[in-house]
Structure 1
């Protein structure tokens, strides 16, 4: 089972550069900031928590969430990406499940929100498969989907 080989590790001196080297498919580039920009953002917004996504102990993705509630009285996921060479294997879904467990355990999160561009069909499929609901919330060019963990 692939989920047994996926884990998330807090960003650190040993894995940050590997995260910066990851690439997404060309048709996804309009939907997400680079990992380097996200990592820089986390150094100035100290409530952001960046993680490397590892598969078989190799860095293959990046995610970042906010450790304090924001809009919609929820904890927000800022980034989730998997390198183009590892997409379609279930790694993103497994990492998202691990991230939600981490947020529940360390932050006592009860509601998680992810914002993404409505044209990002891959993100839509991923979050819908995990029970995130589109309640009609929009923030700029992004739609926000909500996962209520109290249910």
Structure 2
């Protein structure tokens, strides 16, 4: 799937190592697990779907979601990150939008939840701009925001 030079593709033998080499800015490192851990987790939990984020044919980010519903009767997004050198270009927003469409089209998902630390202002701005709503749900140290989606 493509959107403004941004595309997502399933993590695979050709791109997984590039995903592992991506770096977060210092102020984000405390909020997100390393991509290598997420990729390993997906091998033991097959409902987790890892994707590389490409910008102009270069891997610049990583995301992962669960294809099966969990808490709040929703499908959870486990990771969304863009390398520190590519932030601020709208790549994260475009990739998240592509991910939402992938979740809807491939898995028929109707409710998406993202959990993030309340101090992560970048995540807050991103999800709010994409229509995720805070209903006050909290899981451990994370807040959970919800987006209801309609399948055509």
Structure 2 unpaired stretches of 5+? none
Counterparts of 1:3 and 1:88, CA distance in 2:
16
| Partner in structure 2 of residue 21 of structure 1 | 21
Distance 1:3 1:149 in 2: 19
Q: Does the CA-based 8 Å contact 2:110-2:148 persist in structure 1?
A: yes
Which residue in the other structure is 1:127 paired with? 127
The answer to whether the 8 Å contact 1:53/1:63 transfers is: yes
SS at match of 2:13: coil
What TM-score, normalized by structure 2, do the two folds share? Answer: 0.97
Partner of 2:99: 99
Deviation at 1:4, TM superposition (A): 1.9
Partner of 1:89 in structure 2? Answer: 89
Q: CA RMSD in A?
A: 1.2
Aligned to 1:114, what secondary structure does the other structure show?
strand
CA–CA distance in structure 2, aligned partners of residues 150 and 6 of structure 1: 23
- Matched residues, number: 150
Separation in 2, partners of 1:141, 1:69: 21
Aligned-residue offset at 1:110:
0.5
Residues 1-151 of structure 1 mapped to structure 2, 5 A cutoff: 3-150=3-150
Task: Give 1:30 shift.
Answer: 0.5
Helix, strand or coil for the counterpart of 1:85? Answer: helix
Show structure 1 runs of 4+ deviating over 3 A.
none
- Counterparts of 2:30 and 2:49, CA distance in 1: 23
The whole-number CA distance in structure 2 between the counterparts of 1:36 and 1:115 is: 19
2-structure distance, mates of 1:149, 1:114: 14
